Structure 1
């Protein structure tokens, strides 16, 4: 045990009972509004704060109606996780069965899609509603190994009374998020759960490793699909005079002619054949291709006044919409880009890479990391993002749409400036 927080990795491997008692004491203190003698781990404490703000009942989970078999089948079919389910099974199910655990996979909405593992533990899971078609978001089930990684966007182990809802205190859960390498979109979480006395301290690392293998498989599939699109589009581009580019359905470039190559173009969420405005190409004609689009810029873009809307209202799903100027489009943001854009929106006069590094990492020395992220952002913001100092182009209107509960701002973020903004907005108890 460290002086700052419960050291679950050391304690659980030596004395599960003592680890359970310490987490139970911390849980009871949090509910009573008192400071625990030994605080919970930071990711657990942050989740408990979210639960207290939302008024989640610690005595019982909310159990919305499970999906019907038809609804569940449709959701499974839509999920890209179906593509890597065999890999997840190979990596985790046999381990889960031998360790008296179950493997659970949920989508980005926290809906359980698949569940496999030890038969006796499956029956225990039925008793708490951990079954296909059920909702395991934090808002319904409290701190848990599925819903909490969805918000934190990082692997999380939830042990015993670290679960916010008391009926889950018999369980230990290790969950890791899986993101789509094409666009950084969160696809869901893979989790291995079991009863308390079957805890293995290394389970979280195993789950995290298999989640990374799943992302690598999705990346390999994406590269193969780009190669197929390149084969289809190359003869077309060879006959086109002027500028043209072939992109897949998420904007990744397969082939280009008459213009500088780029990695990716931001596409509208719903692209259809015909004219469309894109950053940084301006007005284009879009023609469907097998597995993508052929885009032909009509003319050189002429930047004008633009309006930016940074939407942070839905936790875990930040987006940026640009209207006017070089075109109108919406781009889903990674957690890091959401943090940086939020900070830039408050810096009308501009700021430096060192100041942003201090605000994001608490370390002004991490300027290179910040510059690299800002360079990636310029791929879709173009001339709207200036540097020396970093700021939005003069005349650009910037709107930030915050969550109704301001203390739920970017809940995944540990950036010092964002943590301060949440603390300032949180109601005093």
Structure 2
């Protein structure tokens, strides 16, 4: 708002624009584009603008306590309390920390403000994603991946029109993915540049602390080769290996802070060893890597070259194996799916495992993981996750996903019509070649 506009006038104008939008009349002058776009997504997702349906509670108190203890952001909660908590309590505000799905993990601050926040279900365990709570700073941060400030009537739900909020994402320094969000909520003073600067500074400080403590969550493969739970993997003890092989032909292997960019063949070998967990005899590893017979001398030569890259302390022989615990991105995706955390799994799933590899063990695991990921997305029926899936290279031609997206969107929505049209076009594209092949078979002369 410009210098001549008072906060009261601005709030009144926003509420008027909100009323015009939800009643379907008029344009949206004076409404920021990121807010207008969010309102449209909220309408498409069926969020109620009148505040009659509050954000749901996703976890019971017992589940939440266990989840919080093992969440990466628990390590930086004392820092958030130091940077934001005392000020929020003194100024009559609340500060909150949420996970990558928008579930609030901690909500603290001024007792009176905390009780006010409870009336709109801004409480620990509630889901404040955009799809569940409408336009709000934490939810929009997770949607856009950038710091956001939302003022009074910019909230989609009228239940939140007396509040303003500022939030910023907190990212895993190792992978760059969002671990969660930190938020300040309260009255008019939150609708100011210093409030946004405060949450941005807190988020950056938290990321620096995560780097300092080398806390980077990855799934841990146990000695028997099974994926441990994400919570069991815990923090970084500094004695393991990190392997990233999703969506790339050359895997990245991080050991003691040093990153090795592996060739496609070495990537296949390291992935095979990580999947096996225990040591692998040479003849078994050869079968894992190729359908054709691989001479023992060829495999020994390849392993010698790989040992020169990784060092003898990391790559063992007789049997072949990795000498340290392995944390993998594909292992974490599998663990998250096992725990029912589909949104987090999809966020981390950056593509098929070594997509061009033809090594049998890689092909088998790649197909299984992709089917598991796809099934979880289709099964959950979450419009936001379905939209994310079809917007990827590997989900763009998924007829069933487009059909599920069309069913999940509100009737009459232009997005629903577009999704249904895309599903029909893909269905026709699949059907036509099949008809052509059948027709050609009928016309082919018999040799009998």
Question: After the TM superposition, which of the residue ranges 27-36 and 106-115 deviates more from structure 2?
Answer: 27-36
Q: Which residue is 1:325 aligned to?
A: 358
* Secondary structure at the counterpart of residue 157 of structure 1: strand
1:98 Cα deviation (Å)? 2.7
Q: 1:408 to 1:145 in 2, by over 3 A?
A: farther
1:95 Cα deviation (Å)? 2.1
Alignment of 1:35-50 (within 5 A): 35-36=26-27, 38-50=29-41
Whether the 8 Å contact between 1:100 and 1:198 is mirrored in structure 2 is no
Structure 1: gaps spanning 5 or more residues: 1-6, 233-245, 294-310, 333-337, 346-396, 410-420
1:57 Cα deviation (Å)? 0.8
Alignment of 1:156-235 (within 5 A): 156-196=148-188, 199-222=191-214
Q: Distance in 1 between matches of 2:182 and 2:214?
A: 21
Whether the 8 Å contact between 1:312 and 1:318 is mirrored in structure 2 is no
* Secondary structure at the counterpart of residue 289 of structure 1: coil
Q: 1:423 to 1:225 in 2, by over 3 A?
A: closer
Q: Deviation digits for residues 296-331 of structure 1, max 9, x if unmatched? A: xxxxxxxxxxxxxxx999986663114542634579
Q: Deviation digits for residues 115-168 of structure 1, max 9, x if unmatched? A: 111111111111111111112122221111222211111111111111101011
Whether the 8 Å contact between 1:150 and 1:177 is mirrored in structure 2 is yes
> Does 2:424 align with 1:425?
no
Whether the 8 Å contact between 1:225 and 1:291 is mirrored in structure 2 is no
> Does 2:32 align with 1:32?
no
Q: Distance in 1 between matches of 2:108 and 2:196?
A: 17
TM-score (norm 1): 0.60
The structure with the larger Rg is 2
> Does 2:254 align with 1:253?
yes
1:31 Cα deviation (Å)? 1.5
1:183 Cα deviation (Å)? 1.7
Q: 1:153 to 1:122 in 2, by over 3 A?
A: same
Alignment of 1:29-108 (within 5 A): 29-36=20-27, 38-59=29-50, 60-65=52-57, 67-108=59-100
Q: 1:96 to 1:263 in 2, by over 3 A?
A: farther
Whether the 8 Å contact between 1:229 and 1:248 is mirrored in structure 2 is no
Q: Deviation digits for residues 353-381 of structure 1, max 9, x if unmatched? A: xxxxxxxxxxxxxxxxxxxxxxxxxxxxx
Q: 1:26 to 1:317 in 2, by over 3 A?
A: farther
Q: Distance in 2 between matches of 1:43 and 1:407?
A: 26
Q: Which residue is 1:287 aligned to?
A: 322
* Secondary structure at the counterpart of residue 320 of structure 1: coil
Q: Which residue is 1:370 aligned to?
A: none
* Secondary structure at the counterpart of residue 213 of structure 2: helix
Q: Distance in 2 between matches of 1:49 and 1:400?
A: 25
Whether the 8 Å contact between 1:342 and 1:400 is mirrored in structure 2 is no
Q: Distance in 2 between matches of 1:77 and 1:223?
A: 14
Q: Which residue is 1:405 aligned to?
A: 405
Alignment size in residue pairs: 313
Q: Deviation digits for residues 16-65 of structure 1, max 9, x if unmatched? A: 11221221122122213344352421221121111111111111234434
1:180 Cα deviation (Å)? 0.9
Whether the 8 Å contact between 1:44 and 1:162 is mirrored in structure 2 is yes
Q: Distance in 2 between matches of 1:209 and 1:422?
A: 37
Q: Distance in 2 between matches of 1:290 and 1:213?
A: 29
* Secondary structure at the counterpart of residue 9 of structure 2: helix
Q: Distance in 2 between matches of 1:406 and 1:314?
A: 23
CA RMSD of aligned residues (A): 4.6
Q: Which residue is 2:439 aligned to?
A: none
1:424 Cα deviation (Å)? 9.4
Whether the 8 Å contact between 1:407 and 1:425 is mirrored in structure 2 is no
* Secondary structure at the counterpart of residue 167 of structure 2: strand
Q: Distance in 2 between matches of 1:319 and 1:224?
A: 17
Q: Distance in 2 between matches of 1:119 and 1:91?
A: 18
Structure 2: gaps spanning 5 or more residues: 219-235, 245-251, 290-301, 307-314, 329-341, 374-386, 422-448
Q: 1:400 to 1:136 in 2, by over 3 A?
A: same
Q: Which residue is 1:262 aligned to?
A: 261
Q: Distance in 1 between matches of 2:21 and 2:27?
A: 7
Whether the 8 Å contact between 1:312 and 1:400 is mirrored in structure 2 is no
TM-score (norm 2): 0.58
Q: 1:271 to 1:98 in 2, by over 3 A?
A: farther
Higher helix proportion, which one? 2
Q: Which runs of 4+ in 1 moved over 6 A?
A: 223-226, 263-268, 275-278, 281-284, 311-315, 406-409, 421-424
Higher strand proportion, which one? 1
